[in-house]
Amino acid sequence: MRDYYLIRNFTKPFKIFLVNFIIVLSIGFYTGVFFVRQTESDIPKGIVENYNGNEDIALIPSVMKFKKGKREMLTIIHTHILSISFIFVLLGIMVWGTEISIFWKSFLTIEPFISLLTTFGGIYLIWLGYEWISYLVMISGFLMIITYLTETLIVLYSLFKPPIKNVE
């Protein structure tokens, strides 16, 4: 392995910059996760109701939700895929600078893109009426969160390791 791109060998000021970036990025990421929980979109029924509404339910729900329009759906999918993919690109670049195995680097940097497409492609399919996909959306969203957490912990651990001496 080439030691010159190990993030543990970066200068202290640059490491501080990256730690601060990960902290702020994580605040934003987990705020989004908490928002999903707040809208009850972390269970299959809630996912379906969030995009297809609940106005046709016999009992009056505590929060009335209406089916989203095509423009709104395209905006949600477009903005989430673009922004979350940038999050995982930046985090993935840092993961490649750690000392974990190539297998884990590959898995952790490719999996979130699969989960991202599965999650938001699945949301679109739910909106089209394929409600059973809500289970897949829930699983892929959970995997994305676990991968994010794992990547950030690995990167932070590497940033706090001392540099390797005599880097050539």
The answer to whether residue 166 is domain-embedded is: no
166 or 127, which is more confident?
Answer: 127
The answer to whether residue 167 is domain-embedded is: no
The answer to whether residue 168 is domain-embedded is: no
The answer to whether residue 28 is domain-embedded is: yes
Query: For residue 30, what pLDDT band results from cuts at 50, 70 and 90?
Result: very high
Decide if 103 contacts 12 (C-beta within 8 A).
no
pLDDT at 89: 98
pLDDT at 2: 57
54 or 97, which is more confident?
Answer: 97
Q: How many domains does the chain have?
A: 1
Mark out the alpha helices in 53-99 (DSSP H runs).
70-95
Tens-place pLDDT, residues 48-93: 888 887 777 656 666 777 778 899 999 999 999 999 999 999 999 9
Q: Read off the pTM.
A: 0.89
Tens-place pLDDT, residues 138-166: 999 999 999 999 999 999 999 999 998 76
The answer to whether residue 57 is domain-embedded is: yes
34 or 38, which is more confident?
Answer: 34
CA angle (127, 108, 119) in 5-degree steps: 0
62 or 115, which is more confident?
Answer: 115
Tens-place pLDDT, residues 6-17: 999 999 999 999
101: left (phi over 0), alpha (psi -120 to 50) or beta: beta
The answer to whether residue 94 is domain-embedded is: yes
Range of the structural domain that residue 44 is part of: 3-159
Choose among 114, 134, 142: nearest CA to 50.
Answer: 134
Residue 20: pLDDT over 80: yes
CA angle (36, 91, 105) in 5-degree steps: 110
CA dist 118 to 4, 40, 98, 151, Å? 35, 19, 27, 19
The answer to whether residue 147 is domain-embedded is: yes
